Amino acid sequence: MKLESILLGLLAQRPSTGYDIKKFLDVGGRFMRSNTQMSQVYRVLGAMEKAGWVEHSVETRPGATDAKTYRLTESGLTVFLDWLDSPYLPPSRFQDADFQVRIAFAGFMSREQALRLVETELTAREEQVLRYRNRDRRFAAVPTVAYDGVLADVVAEWGHRSAAAAVDAHIQSLRLLRSALLDLPENSSLAAYLDRFARDGLLAAGPSLADHDVLSESIQG
């Protein structure tokens, strides 16, 4: 997942400083991309500014370093929206951030676009399970040093079963999201979706957005 796609999406939500973006990526957006450095954020922002995708204004702060606030240009917004609507090719690992980053910017999509994205991811994962769940996982190890074959097999079996459970949970969550997007009326409230997810057992991982004042402050953390 390119950092520039994430930054374009964040700036499409609101103008922000490089510091604000880094703070968000460290906390609220930590699952979009791992270990993003401040130098990387500013390097990509600089490259996007040279390309004409972003521009900045400087806010003078007495007694502190001047702050550069970046915002998208019309060209940058076009690049972002074109990327968001471009064909999604699911990676072999569902844990990779490609799908999660795209769906995180669902506010810029139509319901049809969001459904198309969910359907593509769902179909890919269902096909993976059918093709590979019962594959021959045996590997004839011929080590030249001390090797505990039983321990290796125990860990391999644990890894297979854990991964299978994780992808099954991912598939189920996609099915529930698809169902909610199909069944709920257009312009349904957040509460309506949360009620639907709660009934379907999707709300099991901590507080929701409704429990935090982050809908208008997500970038600043």
76-92 pLDDT tens trace: 999 999 999 999 999 99
* 153-199 tens-digit pLDDT: 999 999 999 999 999 999 999 999 999 999 888 888 888 888 888 88
Q: Which of these, 205, 21, 101, 48, lies nearest to 194 by C-alpha position?
A: 205
Dist CA 21 CA 12 (whole Å): 12
Residue at 97 is within a domain:
no
Dist CA 192 CA 195 (whole Å): 5
- Mean predicted confidence (pLDDT) in 140-161: 94
Claim to verify: residue 25 and residue 45 sit in the same structural domain: yes
Claim to verify: residue 75 and residue 24 sit in the same structural domain: yes
Dist CA 203 CA 51 (whole Å): 41
Residue at 102 is within a domain:
no
Dist CA 152 CA 157 (whole Å): 9
Residue at 218 is within a domain:
yes
Please tell me the total count of domains within the chain. Answer: 3
Any idea what the CATH number is for the domain that residue 64 is in?
Answer: 1.10.10.10
Residue at 99 is within a domain:
no
pLDDT on residue 221: 39
Q: Between 102 and 34, whose confidence is greater? A: 102
Claim to verify: residue 177 and residue 197 sit in the same structural domain: no
Residue at 62 is within a domain:
yes
Q: What would the two tokens of residue 186 be?
A: 């257009």
Claim to verify: residue 175 and residue 215 sit in the same structural domain: no
* 104-114 tens-digit pLDDT: 999 999 999 99
pLDDT on residue 217: 45
pLDDT on residue 77: 97
Claim to verify: residue 34 and residue 49 sit in the same structural domain: yes
% of the chain beyond a pLDDT of 90: 71
Dist CA 181 CA 169 (whole Å): 18
Claim to verify: residue 72 and residue 136 sit in the same structural domain: no
pTM of the predicted protein model: 0.84
Residue at 105 is within a domain:
no
Dist CA 182 CA 77 (whole Å): 28
Q: Is the pLDDT of residue 49 over 50?
A: yes
Claim to verify: residue 176 and residue 193 sit in the same structural domain: no
- Structural domain containing residue 198: 188-221
Last-in-domain residue among 84, 119, 147? 84
Residue at 100 is within a domain:
no
Band (pLDDT 50/70/90 cuts) for residue 67 is confident
SS3 content of the chain, % helix, strand, coil (to 5): 55, 5, 40
Residue at 58 is within a domain:
yes
